[in-house]
Amino acid sequence: MARPHTTYRIIAALVLLGALAVVFVSLGNWQLDRAAQRVAIKTAIQTGRGAAPLRLSPATPARDLVPWRPATAHGVWLHKLTVLLENRNYQGQPGYWVATPLLIDQAANTAVLVLRGWLPRPMRPDEAMPGIPAPSGEQTVDGELLERVPRLFELWSWSGGSATQLPGKLPDAARPVPQVQNLDLAAYGKATGLTLLPAVLAQAPGVAAASAAGGTPLRQEWPEPSLDADKNRGYALQWFGFAAIAAVAWLVIAWRALRRKIKSSTL
């Protein structure tokens, strides 16, 4: 007859191994979902970049604003509404993304928010902020469409912090060039009073030299999303392997316990 404490140990081991098998399978399925998401993103990028270039206007249908699609906008920069996006690194150097609306229809007060490029952050307290190029007159801007401004995780958002809130109204005399971690299109449109296209234009390289516009040259080298789905599939295979090991261990323990019970009942 099996001792009570031995029976309890067997039951505990079976419960633990069963739970581990379920957790490992769930983690494997999660990695497969991540792989599928990356495949979908890769397909969307290929579809968008393969589409015909789009000329942006107030009449552009929302269905045509496909992410990653080449697009062109013609208008006037509204430099007084520029916003800097913090913590955007370039080749390991901290800096900002410069976001400025381009007014494409003055009568309709319609604009498109343009990510103009990367600007280095001052590294010393006594170092002045680099000048932002401010070309005047009508401009033609080429780039790729994005669904929204790429977001960064905000740790302090869990505690209800407001360190990166956009001013309620722009321009703001207290913060001539606001610095925020993330920028929501709806909130930005409300603060500026502009009618914004429901997309963002990431400016392509090849803009005029900063010396002609006054300011530091901006770099238009935008980060690409990670598309390595094979890595996720490899992780999934590992998790499924762990689940198989846990399942085999569960079967071995259960079989031995059953054999022991049958043997003791025949004595």
* pLDDT at position 4: 59
C-alpha pair distances (Å), 190 with each of 82, 98, 141, 196, 220: 15, 19, 24, 10, 27
pLDDT in tens, 123-182: 887 778 888 999 999 999 999 999 999 988 654 444 444 456 899 899 988 888 999 999
Residue 22: which H helix or E strand, with range? helix 4-49
The domain ranges of the chain are 4-44+228-266, 53-213
For the chain, the straight-line distance linking the first and the last C-alpha, in angstroms and rounded, comes to 9
Using CA atoms, how far apart are residues 40 and 35, in angstroms rounded to an integer? Answer: 9
Tell me the pLDDT tens digit for each residue of 53-68. 999 999 999 999 999 9
Distance (Å, rounded) from C-alpha 123 to C-alpha 184? 27
**Tokens standing for residue 1:** 């007859």
123 or 121, higher pLDDT: 121
For the four alpha carbons of 6, 8, 14 and 17, in that order, the dihedral sign comes to negative
60, 87, 84: which is closest to 199 by C-alpha? Answer: 60
State how far Cα 153 lies from the chain centre.
Answer: 9
* pLDDT at residue number 211: 42
